[in-house]
Amino acid sequence: MRFKRKRRSEVTLLLFGANPRLVMIMDASSHIPPGQGGQNADPRLQPTPDYGTLGPGSDVNAGASRSAATDRPTARPVRLGPIIAIAVGGCLAALVAGAGSARPFLPRITDLFSFANPPVVSSAKDLRQLNRMRPQKQAEVLLELAVANSDEARDQIFERVDGWRGKLKWGQLAPLFTAALNAKDLRVREAGIEAELAAYGLAKNSSAVDYLVLEAESSDHAQKIWGLWALGLLGNRGVETDRVVQILTSHLKDSDEDSRRWAVEGLALVGTTPTIAPLLQTMHDDPSPSVRERAACSLAESGMLTPEQRLTAVPQLVSYSDDPSLDAQTHAWAFQALGDITQQRLPNDSAAWRNWYENRRGSQGFSSQ
């Protein structure tokens, strides 16, 4: 096994021989909102920032100045690097151990996270104890329990999240957000999105979208990618979703490949059917392997698309698997995405996949294209 080290603005691609593997990890810690970091800072190389909030109420007016909208208390940053390193190390170990086996080669990130301090309550049903906690501790406890597959904790997050807005500091929440966004259960991912919006202090309204559109147009790189990410969070929660998809899709044409990558991540967060076509096109057409890889991951497993929505991408992915205009890397990503979406462990052979699809064409979930 060898590693291909990309430039600072790209992800690391894992290779088996000549075939790179998709890394299905969506990292919620990689975004520095306005006022955090310098213009040349790369947030993925920095300690996790203290995002704070956008101010009491977080009803950001479209015409409000950025300085007023981003006046926040500071909190001690927490380093996520060691946690992600452990998670990626676990992924690599599983990849090596699982090579040649029929089981999926990438473990769920929630299987890799372990938190040093267990929750102070064993169940989200212990409402009296939860009610005595500050919002920050409530969020930490309930997210940890939700990631551990507690339905009660997930429901409590939805019930309490409006009361957390403007009262959370990033702190220990960063690894919990990352774990929630990579949970197997989409409802846990949704709860993570709600809690992350509360931590950002973003209200779920049109004014917040207007503000984030300005951030996504910023010349400051950190502000820009945070704006793209946060637009995806709001779009997922039904806030001007069509507009958000249109804006994120327009950024897929940016000259900066890192901006295109985070536009892809934003579309993955939105998780509506209209995001599938631009993700497929990006996987096919983008000149950057990093961006194509993230588009493939977004179609396969990461993000907020449902299993039924992902199935509609299968015909195009089959076509990509032997498209002569695509390189071997993208062919390999198409095969991996097909396996992840369908849970079929066929060989990396386009004819086998095409035969499998034709035999199921017209079945529920598959388009007829």
How far apart are the C-alpha atoms of 189 and 146, rounded to whole Å? 9
**What are the tens digits of pLDDT across the range 185-230?**
999 999 999 999 999 999 999 999 999 999 999 999 999 999 999 9
Residue 290 in domain: no
Average pLDDT on 269-281 reads 98
Residue 150 in domain: yes
- Count how many domains the chain has: 1
| Residues whose CB is less than 8 angstroms from the CB of residue 95 and which lie 6 or more positions away in sequence, other chains included | 1, 14, 16, 21, 105, 106
Residue 315 in domain: no
Average pLDDT on 334-359 reads 96
Q: pLDDT-derived band of residue 367, with 50, 70 and 90 as boundaries? A: low
Residue 63 in domain: yes
Q: What share of the chain is helix, strand, coil (3-state, %, to 5)?
A: 55, 5, 40
Q: Which range of residues forms the domain containing residue 142?
A: 43-200
Residue 331 in domain: no
Residue 123 in domain: yes
Question: 220 near 258, Cβ under 8 Å?
Answer: no
Residue 151 in domain: yes
Residue 118 has pLDDT above 60, yes or no: no
Angle, vertex CA 335, rays to CA 285 and CA 338, nearest 5: 100
Q: Which tokens hold the place of 361?
A: 């064409």
Residue 71 in domain: yes
Whole-number average pLDDT of the chain: 76
